Structure 1
């Protein structure tokens, strides 16, 4: 669930514990060393990643982890603490809420089902969920699976009606609420759509609005098409084949598996950080409920962009993008089917990503178009106001530095 979405649309600490490591062929290499076969010019990639992680921590983020897969090997960096109360250092291999990265998993399953002929990107929501999307100008007969995947359906984002991100008191009172997909969709259908599905701007480009509602509907369509919950399909088709041992859909479990980093949310620019680790993830469902690790996240995106999960013609469909028209940390971004594309200073092909925000957690990643480099940065705080903008820009800079 991108909490940045609403902000982008409106605007168009403790002593750090740090460490960086380059691993190649199972051997640890000290930062500053040159791995055989790598270029010796330029800053050491481990040192650079560590500096970027420490810079993020210096903005007020409680705990930061990063992991990159490069031709030189695997690089890891961390800074800060996992728990403000105990001062416990950030552990390697920590679990984080994957948040909206869940959407890329769900999109992958939908594209696989499309390749198997079990559904079509041009199927309407009405075909799979008859009568569900109706009222207040919403019409499932006009919305296709492709519209849902690409955020061009016009459906309102249900998250705008759940003030978990706006009020610490609301969080404390409602953090264990049990949400059903029908309830989440119903929140969106209580409003008129932001625009009609497939509607365009005067210049002919599609209107686009990030909506978690579309991916909850996709989860429902997966169940209707397969007879199994989206969580089971993601597990069978992606998690287990790739051996993503730290990645899972938690159901209604409000805690994360150990090791983990506690998440903190700032409710207002001058407000203290609130521990928001405990949360029933049904509030996000197929739009953002999953949990992962940095290594798993890199492995997943490299496999997807490398063509191991979706047939080439359908991967090409995933990578057909429309402009988001977002600014700040999203400047120049485009969106495909469950994938963001960003420009990259060192490669005209750019990089692919998704990223996600879930109350107290912010995770960003990127993989080069050739799959040769991938990086994930996870942050255990969501800041407010101008610090939030700086957090987003610094995270994007760290991604670019690791990919270039």
Structure 2
């Protein structure tokens, strides 16, 4: 989930923890036997994972897939100071990657004629979006999905979500249940950011409203629709919409979040996901999320017309080469073309992914550790993550990323 008002390259309110030294995993020595697999030089994928750890991530897990190929890489620690590596396919909070699931369900409903992208949301949510220049009579479903509605972001308000702003707030609110209506109401105390359709600004509030519209249109929760339309058909048994259950299944790395002004991280692994709702409440595993994106991009979940709508992007301000479609982002590749993705960050977990346009090659990077006091370190982690994704998707031999 993007718990920030800035663009989605960093989705929480800060960047990842800068560690004191780089750790190079699997380095060879001059005396190593050349034919001994245990002494072969690390793959580029492993070197790039190590570079993310060296840039400041506490722990890094990478999952890569291509036809007849699956590769993984790990670097750093599952929990700071333990030396224990992150699990190869551990559970993590996927945050704003949830938005792609929700957008996919929405476009399936569009294909069924139950929703329309370019009609106002007012009939579905009568009188809900009003005040301070926000008006559901002038905002369409497409604008919610693409963040062009102008509706402000509820996560910009510490009073609304205190658990996201301090260690004390987290401890006091980590089990708290939130209703999407109360979070929307908080957002609407702020003025509209712009006239609908005239600009772009990332707002989690948009997807709270999309989740509510799905429920109005189907009579069932957005989570139930995601389960029945995506998780069950694809066999994504390790991906869940957990509701009020604040615990992650094992194995998982420890979410570690250093709040502004703190000098050490807080263990934020336990969290009631209703604080994110349809904007970012799900958890999963790298292999499951990889399978979802490859199915989506290869046309298994949406028809050609709906997938084309999802991929009609609006440029992301101040991020050349990047665009935002309907719950799906795009980034240019150094080898030509672009890849598709939607990462997510929420209290101590950060993830980014990339899938080629044909859905045949995918890579996902999960990091545990966020430090709100070190934006420069976070920028280095982000850059190293983008480099890994680009290298993996551009590798001449898809079986050797």
Using the size of structure 1 for normalisation, the TM-score is 0.87
Deviation at 1:248, TM superposition (A): 0.7
Who is 2:397 aligned against? Answer: none
SS at match of 2:43: helix
Q: Bigger CA drift: 104-113 or 134-143?
A: 134-143
Who is 2:33 aligned against? Answer: none
- Cα distance in 1 for partners of 2:38, 2:237 equals 28
Higher relative contact order (CA 8 A, sep 6+): 2
Who is 1:334 aligned against? Answer: 323
Who is 2:130 aligned against? Answer: 134
Q: Say which of 382, 391, 403 aligns to 2:381.
A: 391
Q: Say which of 353, 357, 382 aligns to 2:370.
A: 382
- Cα distance in 2 for partners of 1:19, 1:379 equals 19
Match status 1:365 vs 2:353:
yes
Q: Identify if the C-alpha distance between structure 1 residues 65 and 269 changes in structure 2 by more than 3 Å, giving closer, same or farther.
A: farther
Q: Contact 1:66 / 1:78 at 8 angstroms: preserved in 2?
A: yes
Who is 1:105 aligned against? Answer: 101
Who is 1:91 aligned against? Answer: 87
Q: Contact 1:113 / 1:119 at 8 angstroms: preserved in 2?
A: yes
- Cα distance in 1 for partners of 2:147, 2:168 equals 31
Deviation at 1:275, TM superposition (A): 1.4
- Cα distance in 1 for partners of 2:222, 2:256 equals 28
Who is 1:118 aligned against? Answer: 114
Q: Deviations over 1:269-317 (max 9, x none)?
A: 8732221111111000000000011111111111101111001011001
- Cα distance in 2 for partners of 1:353, 1:4 equals 18
Q: Say which of 120, 142, 156 aligns to 1:146.
A: 142
Compute the RMSD of aligned alpha carbons.
Answer: 2.5
SS at match of 1:399: helix
Q: Say which of 284, 294, 302 aligns to 2:294.
A: 302
Q: Bigger CA drift: 48-57 or 147-156?
A: 48-57
- Cα distance in 2 for partners of 1:180, 1:255 equals 19
Deviation at 1:118, TM superposition (A): 0.9
- Write the mapping of 1:1-150 to structure 2, written as runs, cut at 5 A: 1-3=1-3, 5-6=5-6, 18=25, 47-71=43-67, 73-84=69-80, 86-150=82-146
Match status 1:241 vs 2:240:
no
**5+ long unaligned stretches in structure 1:** 21-28, 34-43, 200-206
**5+ long unaligned stretches in structure 2:** 28-35, 395-401
- Cα distance in 2 for partners of 1:220, 1:370 equals 32
Q: Identify if the C-alpha distance between structure 1 residues 241 and 174 changes in structure 2 by more than 3 Å, giving closer, same or farther.
A: same
Q: Contact 2:52 / 2:384 at 8 angstroms: preserved in 1?
A: yes
Match status 1:198 vs 2:197:
yes
Deviation at 1:163, TM superposition (A): 4.6
- Write the mapping of 1:350-361 to structure 2, written as runs, cut at 5 A: 350-361=338-349
Who is 1:208 aligned against? Answer: 200
Who is 1:231 aligned against? Answer: 223
Q: Identify if the C-alpha distance between structure 1 residues 48 and 236 changes in structure 2 by more than 3 Å, giving closer, same or farther.
A: same
Q: Deviations over 1:21-65 (max 9, x none)?
A: xxxxxxxx96999xxxxxxxxxx9x71111111111223322110
Q: Contact 2:162 / 2:173 at 8 angstroms: preserved in 1?
A: no
Q: Contact 2:322 / 2:332 at 8 angstroms: preserved in 1?
A: yes
Q: Contact 1:16 / 1:81 at 8 angstroms: preserved in 2?
A: no
Deviation at 1:334, TM superposition (A): 0.4
Deviation at 1:245, TM superposition (A): 1.5
- Cα distance in 1 for partners of 2:113, 2:26 equals 48
SS at match of 1:341: strand
